[in-house]
A and B are shown apart, each in its own frame.
Chain A
Amino acid sequence: MEIPYLVEARKDTGLFNSKIAIWLFLASEVMLFGGLFSSYIFLRIYADYPWPERSLPILPGYINTFVLIGSSITVVFAWAALKLRKYGWFQLWIGITIACAALFMALKGIEYNVKFNHQAAQHLDGTIVEGHLSYAKLKDGIVKYPEHKKAKAGHGDSHDSHDKAKDSHAAPSGYEKIPANVINFSTNELSINLKTYVENKKRIKFLNDQAAEQKQELVSVETGEPLTLELLDKARKDYRANFAHNEDLQAKWLREAWDKAREKDSESPNWKLARTLKVEPNPADPELKTVVNTLKFKTKSGDPVVFRFKPTEVREYPESAILKGGVALSGKLLRSPLILHVDGLDFRALATAAEALGKEPMEEIEKSWIIQNNPDIAKIWHAHLKDIEKLTKHLEERGQEPNEVDLYRLNWKEIVAYLEGTSPNDIKDSLVEKFKGPDYYKRHFPEVTLERNQIHFESKFTPRWNNFYAIYFIITGLHGLHVIGGAIVLFYFGFRSRKMYESNPTWLTNRVEVAGLFWHFVDLVWIFLFPVLYLM
């Protein structure tokens, strides 16, 4: 059976079917992206932290806008070529459109990669430090962090910073290079929560609630016995059998108690409404098979072992650590600093907190930990204050005054310039730097060491960092998936449609028109996305 109205229009609508269908689909897409834009508006208006306005490099989005607009033009050229029955030109224009889509996704991929490798940390006093992780050295399981001599305040030496930055990029022979952001924990005892291990056979997960006190060893484990999968599997099977037994018993007592209560008052209409019935498990306690909730393991010699974890894998405390998979360790948190080459400083949160307390923001920033303890940062900040005076005079002529970003946020050009003793206007960034951010091997950045107990929160520039990045990745990621989907459809029509062109060219033209409508919509979304995310 042939599908009707693929070429000729329906009499009631005056349109061929796929046109109405694609417009209905686009209406649903408008609602989809509209919902996401609405979320962006909501998150921005009610953000309880300084919104990172205009913090994204503009060049990637700028180029991508040109690429997508260009692809919109080429897709309509492809449709026109089909209407003129020029199949070769049609394929050429579709090929250029798909190339534009590939370029768009490649640029987006580079942009995402830059963000995923960029680190941020917030100090307890609210100062936000941004940059790239420095490196530590690892040999025989021992982590060595670079030691810096504390120079006198106001005498920060940019050459020292540069040399140290160079050192931290290389590890000497015999050492392995690791990012200077690991949690080092020393322990000789770890315990595994069995309930979550049982619920998920493949991985051990942490469970917040602990069940009743153990009365009987479920699995006998010798101190120093190695942790094996067979041992865990045996514990899992025994745990399940005992848990099922306990559940059966409790269900049986519940039924018996319910029947007794009903016998006593069988005429009451409340039986239909009753929701709870208390059963005391204690009388049945001896019949319960006790469920062992944790297996504990100790090192064979009793000596502690140093574990290294990524910060996202563990919640660490001075004397205990809990892994994401559900293993708890008790021991000692060793020194686990986060060492950054700083390319961004943001004092806005600290300034806002100071104003809320009725204090002078600039005075509080001067007292901040990073300025008091890092002479390079202090030098940069004081140079910035001098530039603020000049900026204020310049803006007064325009009837404006410096905003919070001017006053409290320093970008990489300012940091590099002030460290070198020059002006940010003298820093000329290359095209690659405009796209990807500063070149860490060419530029000199101050190094900051944050001890673990000074860090309020740290993350790469991922959705985890703040909800601006969360909504940014969601919207641009979903848009990127639409670009990929549209490109796949266009590829099919461009390079797998010879037979359809020869048998029914008008049908192919209509299909290409419909695919083009979807492509234009993808461009339309980006037309709004770019200014909203990158320029506002």
Chain B
Amino acid sequence: MAGDSPQEIMKAVKFYCIIGACLFGCTVLTVSVATVEFFDRGARGFDTFDMVLGLLIATCKATLVAAIFMHLNHEKKMIHWIFFGSLVMALIGFLIFYLAFWDPISFEGFYLG
């Protein structure tokens, strides 16, 4: 995070430019992985490998934005608890679909006969 002196702020600005360039590069990589045949490993077209790779690159980009641009790397622990706590809850929410496979509610006699 930028300190208060002009030198520190200018140094931070240069760092933001580097991170911005990394984000642009990761965007190009994301699209290349999805569209260029050379990167199509595993089954043809979209498969689990593509999904994992795509989300991994997106997570790296998001981490750079959150840590550097949103200053999370310098923030107090309270902010970390607030943000990452909600992130964990959202990730748990992604697993709701699993309830269609596993029904936690059951009682004796549910299935007749």
Closest-by-CB residue of B relative to A35 is B93
Q: A80-B13, A403-B45 are in contact. Are A54 and B34 (CB under 8 A)?
A: yes
Which residue of chain A has its CB nearest to the CB of B20?
A73
Q: Name B69's contact: one of A37, A46, A76 (CB within 8 Å).
A: A76
The segment from A58-66, A156-164, A186-194 found at the interface with B is A58-66
8 Å CB contact of B44 from A31, A35, A402, A520: A402
Which residues on the A side are within 8 Å of B69 (C-beta)? 72-73, 76, 516, 520
Smallest CB–CB gap between B90 and chain A, Å? 3
Tell me whether B30 and A535 are in contact (CB under 8 A): yes
- Pair B50/A83 contact, Cβ less than 8 Å: no
A37 to B44, CA, bound (A): 25
Q: Check B34–A535 contact: CB distance below 8 A.
A: yes
Which residues of A are found within 8 Å of B9, using beta-carbon distances? 80, 83-84
Report the contact-size class of chain A (Cβ under 8 Å from the partner): 35 or more
Asked whether A69 is an interface residue with its Cβ less than 8 Å from the other chain, the reply is: yes
Closest Cβ–Cβ distance, residue A535 to chain B (whole Å): 4
With both beta carbons as reference points, the residue of chain B lying nearest to A40 in the complex is identified as B94
Given A20-B78, A403-B43, A535-B30, A73:B90 Cβ within 8 A: no
A69's partner among B27, B50, B55, B78 (CB-CB below 8 A) is B27
Contact B54 A531 (CB under 8 A): yes
Mark interface residues in B88-105 (1 if CB within 8 Å of A CB, else 0).
Answer: 011101101100100000
- Inter-subunit contact A38/B2 (CB<8 Å): no
Q: How large is the interface on B (under 10, 10 to 19, 20 to 34, 35 or more residues)?
A: 35 or more
Docked CA distance A535–B78 (Å): 35
Interface residues of B in 26-80 (CB under 8 A from A): 27, 30-31, 34-35, 40, 43-46, 50-51, 54-55, 57-58, 61-62, 65-66, 69-70, 76, 78-79
Q: Which of B6, B20, B65, B70 is packed against the most chain A CB atoms within 10 Å?
A: B70
User: Is B31 a contact of A27 with CB atoms below 8 Å?
Assistant: no
Least Cβ distance of B7 to chain A in Å?
11
- Which residues of A are interface residues toward B (Cβ below 8 A)? 13-15, 19-20, 23-24, 26-28, 30-31, 33-35, 37-38, 41-42, 45-46, 53-54, 58, 62, 65-66, 69-70, 72-73, 76-77, 80, 83-84, 395, 398, 400-403, 405-406, 516-517, 520-521, 523-524, 527-528, 530-532, 535-536
A35-B93, A38-B96 are known; give 7 further A-B pairs, CB within 8 A: A26-B83, A27-B83, A30-B83, A34-B93, A42-B96, A403-B43, A532-B54
* B residues lining the A interface (CB < 8 Å): 2, 4, 6, 9, 12-13, 16-17, 20, 23-24, 27, 30-31, 34-35, 40, 43-46, 50-51, 54-55, 57-58, 61-62, 65-66, 69-70, 76, 78-79, 82-83, 85-87, 89-91, 93-94, 96-97, 100
